[in-house]
Amino acid sequence: MAKKSAAVKPKYRRILLKLSGEVLLNRDSGNSLDPGILLSVAKQIKEVKKLGVEVAIVIGGGNIFRGLPGQSCGIDRTTGDHMGMLATVINSLALQSALESQGVDTRVMSAINIPAVAEPFIRRRAMRHLEKGRVIIIGAGTGNPYFTTDSAAALRASEINADVLLKATKVDGIYTADPMKDKTAKRYDTLTYHQALKDELKVMDAAAFSLCMENKIPILVFNFFKQNEILRAVLGKRTGTLVTRSTNGGS
């Protein structure tokens, strides 16, 4: 494992970073993978690694394909979800390439068996990679249709005993409504799992909130596009919305 910085102490020892596929999209050109964004992610993760933090990443595939909208094209849901899982593997390989260009030792692990391009996700092997200071990128969701990558992130965070689930989004936290559509929406600084479930807040699905609640894993939702927000989150600085068992910050 890399040596920790003597000057800066991270709040979390092991993190699960959930990235949506959309954050990798170049909205101007329409290209599904933006090299500049991939490089930015890689550099931010490299800075986090310098603190001695163990990093696991679950990435979505929405920039390439989503199972549910695929039904409008005549693709059945199960087939569409498997196509979406393969899209997450494509994103995982792209991020691995960007990380390794920055000298970060990385392993891609997949919930579906694709031995030519990724290791199978095996919990003990994943834990060993983390202990050796490698970043693991977990693709293919849970390996099952009808489960989102948010659920996969909560599941993997639980399996690897992550200290926190960091969810990187396009907005700076959880709001009472979609801030892109409702200008009167207000942002929460803190939130409980129960409140998020009761109010049906859509930033994550109910299964993901419930799993994190059961395993006492705090969720921090923050704006990926703000500079150095991943580092700020790891250091425990105020950013985004923190979801825990109680609003005073206890898990």
- Residues 38 and 182: their CA atoms lie apart, in Å, by 30
pLDDT digits (tens, 9 = 90+) for 200-209: 888 899 999 9
Q: Is the pLDDT of residue 172 over 60?
A: yes
Beta-carbon contacts of 189 under 8 Å, excluding residues fewer than 6 positions away, are 173, 238, 241, 242
Q: Is the pLDDT of residue 48 over 60?
A: yes
pLDDT at 7: 64
Domain boundaries, the chain: 14-244
- Residues 88 and 69: their CA atoms lie apart, in Å, by 16
Instruction: Report residue 230: phi and psi, to 5°.
Output: -65, -45
Q: May I ask the CATH architecture of the domain 14-244?
A: 3-Layer(aba) Sandwich (3.40)
Mean pLDDT of 75-94: 95
Q: Is the pLDDT of residue 125 over 60?
A: yes
pLDDT at 249: 52
> For 23, how many CA atoms within 13 A lie in the half-sphere containing its CB?
25
Query: 3-state SS of 23-56?
Result: HHCCCCCCCCCCHHHHHHHHHHHHHHHCCCCEEE
- Residues 113 and 85: their CA atoms lie apart, in Å, by 11
Position with higher pLDDT, 200 vs 139 = 139
